[in-house]
C-alpha cells in the first residue's frame, strides 16, 4: 500500500471529479490520502471530504501564503479543531519567501503557533518552506529547544545541508513529483542519501504532477510514479519503498487508524 501524504482534495480542480480521483487512487494502490488544510476558514470543507471517504484524513492549519489574510489562529482554536478523529496533523504552515504573499513576520508568528499546538497535542506539524532555509532552520532549532515536537518537511526541495538539519531535529522529509523532473538531479542525490525510515511520498496535488504528466493536473494516484522513481534512485524495489514509506507515515501520523 502507498500513502499520499499531502494532497488538496478540497481544491476546485477536483470538484467535478472527486469520486473518480479517489477511485483511481485506490486502483493505483494508494490506501490512505491526507488532505491538507490551507485556510482555517475553509476547514469545514476539508473535514467534510475526510468524513465522506474512509481512506481520507485531513489536517488543520494556515498556509504561509494565507497568514496575512486569514484570521490569526490561536493554539486553542487549532487544538479544538484537531479533536476530531479525522484531523491528524497541523498545517500546512511554515515560511515562503519566494512568493512573499504574506508579511514574513506574520508567517513566522503563525508557524510558531502551529508548532506549539503540535507540541501540546502530540501530533505532527506539516511544514512548507521555500527560499527560507536560514530562518526555517533557526525557528526549528529554537522551537525544538522549547520542547520536542514531530513534523514533516513536505515537498522537500532543499539541499543536503537543510536536509541534515531537519533530520537531526527528528523531522521527516517527503518527496513529491519534483524529484522526477529532468532538472532535479541534485534533489535526487539528496533524497538518495536520506535514511529510508525518514522518507514519505506525496503528490501535493493538484500541483506538481510527476513525469510523464508534468504540466497537467496532478492527483493522488500519481504518487505511485513518484514512489517508483524514488525506489529506482535508492536501488530498492517499489514494494520495499511502499512498505517503508507507509510504515513511516503511520509512525508519524499516529492518529491514523491502521
Q: Is 76 annotated as a binding residue?
A: no
Q: Is 43 annotated as a binding residue?
A: no
Q: Which three cell numbers stand for residue 82?
A: 484537531
Q: Which three cell numbers stand for residue 134?
A: 536560514
Q: Is 6 annotated as a binding residue?
A: yes
Q: Is 8 annotated as a binding residue?
A: yes
- For residue 152, the surrounding DSSP H or E stretch is strand 151-153
Burial label for 33, CB within 10 Å (0-12, 13-18, 19+), is buried
Feature table: binding site:
6, 8, 92, 128, 154, 204
Binding residues for a divalent metal cation: 6, 8, 92, 128, 154, 204
Amino acid at each position: 500500500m502507498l500513502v499520499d501524504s499531502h494532497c488538496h482534495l478540497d481544491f476546485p480542480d477536483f470538484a467535478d471529479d472527486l469520486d473518480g480521483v479517489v477511485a483511481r487512487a485506490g486502483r493505483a494502490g494508494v490506501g490512505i490520502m491526507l488532505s491538507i488544510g490551507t485556510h482555517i476558514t475553509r476547514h469545514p470543507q476539508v473535514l467534510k471530504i475526510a468524513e465522506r471517504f474512509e481512506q481520507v484524513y485531513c489536517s488543520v492549519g494556515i498556509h504561509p501564503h494565507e497568514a496575512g489574510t486569514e484570521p490569526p489562529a490561536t493554539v486553542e482554536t487549532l487544538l479544538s479543531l484537531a479533536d476530531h478523529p479525522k484531523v491528524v496533523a497541523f498545517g500546512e504552515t511554515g515560511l515562503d519567501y519566494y512568493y512573499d504573499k504574506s508579511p514574513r513576520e506574520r508567517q513566522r508568528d503563525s508557524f510558531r503557533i502551529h508548532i506549539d499546538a503540535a507540541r501540546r497535542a502530540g501530533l505532527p506539524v506539516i511544514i512548507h518552506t521555500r527560499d527560507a532555509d536560514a530562518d526555517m532552520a533557526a525557528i526549528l532549532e529554537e522551537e525544538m529547544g522549547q520542547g520536542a515536537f514531530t513534523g514533516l518537511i513536505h515537498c522537500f526541495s532543499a539541499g543536503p545541508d537543510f536536509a541534515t538539519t531537519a533530520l537531526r531535529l527528528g523531522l521527516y522529509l517527503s518527496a513529491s513529483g519534483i524529484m522526477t523532473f529532468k532538472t532535479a538531479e541534485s534533489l535526487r542525490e539528496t533524497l538518495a542519501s536520506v535514511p529510508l525510515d525518514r522518507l514519505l511520498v506525496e503528490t501535493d496535488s493538484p500541483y506538481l504532477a510527476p513525469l510523464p504528466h508534468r504540466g497537467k493536473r496532478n492527483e493522488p494516484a500519481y504518487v505511485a510514479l513518484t514512489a517508483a522513481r524514488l525506489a529506482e534512485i535508492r536501488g530498492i524495489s517499489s514494494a520495499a519503498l511502499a512498505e517503508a514509506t507507509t510504515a513511516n507515515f503511520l509512525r508519524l501520523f499516529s492518529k491514523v487508524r491502521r
